Each structure stands twice: as C-alpha cells, then as structure tokens.
Amino acid sequence: MSALALKLRNVRKNFGSSSIINGLNLDVIKGERQAIIGPNGAGKSTLFNLISGFYQVSGGTIEMNGHNITNLATFRINRSGLSRSFQVTNIFPQMTVFENIRCGLLWSMGYKYSFWHLCNQVRHLNEKAEEILERIRMTQRRDLPAGLLAYAEQRALEIGITIAGDAEVILLDEPTAGMSMSETERAVELIRDVTENKTLLVVEHDMSVVFDLADRISVLVYGEIIATDLPEKIRQNQEVQEAYLGKETL
C-alpha cells in the first residue's frame, strides 16, 4: 500500500436540507495523477471546496499526508501543501501577469507579511517568478494586467499561480473547459509538465484529456464515488457505463 496524499472518509456536505456529498470516500496516492469525472451537479466542485477548506464539511474526515485537515482555514490548508484552481477563472485581474505569479510565490518563499523587504530588490523571488512565467509560456505577456488576457491565457495564468507556491498536492477544477482543441492540447501538456513529481487531482469533462492525463479515475455520482480504477477498467466498468459514460462516446 503506497502512501496516501489525500484520504477522505465518509465525508458529507449538506446545503440546508439538500445533501450534496453523501458519505464520500476517496484515496489519492502520493505522486499519482487522478481524475474525477461525473455528471453536471454531481458535486465535484463541492468536493474540491471541501478538501481545500473553502466549505466546512457537515461530517467525515479529510487527511492530507496523514494529517487531519478537516475544516481547517483555507490558508492553513494551503500552507500545509495543497493548492487549487477554480472552475471559474480566479486571478488578480488588476495586477500584471508577473505580479500575479509573484504574489503566488511570496508566502512559500518566506516573505509572508514582510513590510521590510522590497519585492523588486529580492533577486531570487523575481527569478523564480520569471522562471514560472517561462514555464507557462507567458513571458511575453509579463506586464499586461491579467484581466486583459485572453481566456485561455487566464486559465494558464491561474495554473501558474496555483503551482507557484510549490504545493505537493494540486487540485485543478476543469482546467480546459471552454478551450479550443489546440488550446486544450497545450494546456494538457502544461499540466503534465508542472505536475511532474506532484500529486494531481483534476476534475474534467473532456474525456480525451482525462484518459490522456490520468493514472487513475474516480467516478462521482450523486455525491458518492462509485468507482476508482485504472482508466481501461473504468472504461469497461458496467456500473460506470450506466451511471455516466453511457451518454458519452468513448
């Protein structure tokens, strides 16, 4: 049994009287890329919000690397090594692309609440930011306000911010949604590149992306994981076929 990056046990979430996540169990192995698929409204984003501390769970426990992170404040979960992107692009629109990335770096590089360093004077901070810009291929856009970027570029920038803090566990919520074929291809390549040696949990509707990227796939239906397995096995799984994949052409 390999070490688990994430371990969810019997997690529940209700909004008022409607129960969205019903006793969900999920294991994410350290270093793997796992995809979560499921129909619209199954609770995938809600699950991400629970793991990242954005919502409080109504019951159950969430562990990361053996530590209980259930209902911790978002920033604490982030500091202990988990980072995420959002389904709806979530960046700092008024800042430049470079500033966006640099902000993502500040905490993890130890600058925290410092008001005695000048950002521009800290060489390795800026070098690291440039390096990430290079990796997400945005060097040319460096000084543009992020809000003015094209949609696909904003998504790439968000991935850049997400990985900037050097978290071990990365959660991406539909990173390629709304992209064209070629943009999607580039995004997948980028994701593969930046999650090298990390643990990735990704929600995705595009099956080609899922099968391209994932080591394992979990299927989430009505707030429960009904199967977790290798991609080929999921493709053949009867229950999954019925619950979800039947509608898609695989």
Partner 1 sequence: MKYLIRHLGIWAVAIALCAILPVIFSSDYAISLLSQMGIAIIFSLSYNMILGQGGMLSFGHAVYFGIGGFLAMHGINLIAGGTLPIPLELAPLIGGLGGLIVGILFGWLSTERSGTTFALISLGIGELIAASALLLPGFFGGEEGVSTDRMVENTITPFDFGQQIEVYYLIACWMLLCIVLMYLQTKTPLGRVANAVRDNPERAAFIGYNTRMVRTIQFALASFFSGIAGGLFAINYEIITAEMIGAIPSANVLMMTYIGGIGHFFGPIIGAVLVTFMQLTLSGFTHAWQLYFGLLFVSMILWAPTGLAGIIMNHEPAWKAGLMKKLIPSYTRATLAALVMFLGIMTLIEINYHLSLSIHPKDPMSLFGISFKAQSPAGWIIAIALIAVGFFFFKRGKNEVKNSWMDVHQAIKTGGK
Ligand X SMILES: Nc1ncnc2c1ncn2[C@@H]1O[C@H](COP(=O)(O)OP(=O)(O)OP(=O)(O)O)[C@@H](O)[C@H]1O
Query: Residue numbers of the site for partner 1 (CB under 8 A)?
Result: 52, 54, 73-75, 78-79, 83-84, 86, 90-95, 99, 102-104, 106-108, 111-120, 161-162, 164-165
Q: What token pair was written down for 165? A: 């803090």
Total residues binding Mg ion (CB under 5 A) = 3
DSSP character string of 209-241: HHHHH-SEEEEEETTEEEEEE-HHHHHH-HHHH
Decide if residue 45 touches Mg ion (CB under 5 A). Answer: yes
Side chain identity, residue 137? R
Q: By the 8 A CB rule, do 223 and 41 touch?
A: no
Q: Decide if residue 17 touches ligand X (CB under 6 A).
A: no
Q: Based on CB atoms, which residue is closest to partner 1, 98 or 244?
A: 98
Interface residue with ligand X, options 33, 44, 84, 102 (CB under 6 A): 44
Q: Which amino acid is at 46?
A: T
Among 3, 10, 41, 215, binds ligand X (CB under 6 A): 41
Which C-beta is closer to ligand X: that of 40 or that of 249?
A: 40
Cα angle 219-172-197, degrees, rounded to a multiple of 5:
100
Position 25 contacts Mg ion (CB under 5 A): no
24 with 228: CB under 8 angstroms? no
How many chain residues touch ligand X (CB under 6 A)?
Answer: 11
Count CB neighbours of 142 within 10 A.
14
Pick from 87, 90, 96, 126 the residue near ligand X by CB under 6 A.
87
Neighbours of 153 (CB within 10 A): 18
> Smallest distance from the beta carbon of 174 to Mg ion, in angstroms?
6
Whether 85 and 42 have beta carbons less than 8 Å apart is answered as no
Identified binder of Mg ion from the candidate list 14, 22, 61, 87, rule CB under 5 A: 87
Distances (CA, A) of 141 to 49, 100, 149, 185, 192: 30, 12, 8, 20, 22
End-to-end CA distance of the chain: 31
Nearest residue (CB) to partner 1, 61 versus 108: 108
Classify residue 178 as exposed, middle or buried by CB count within 10 Å of its CB (0-12, 13-18, 19+): exposed
* Comparison of 134 and 166: residue with beta carbon closer to partner 1: 166
20 binds, among ligand X, partner 1, Mg ion, none (CB under 5 to 8 A by kind): ligand X
- Contact range with ligand X by CB under 6 A, out of 22-30, 41-49, 71-79, 144-152: 41-49
Residues that bind Mg ion (CB under 5 A): 44-45, 87
Residues that bind ligand X (CB under 6 A): 15, 20, 38, 40-46, 87
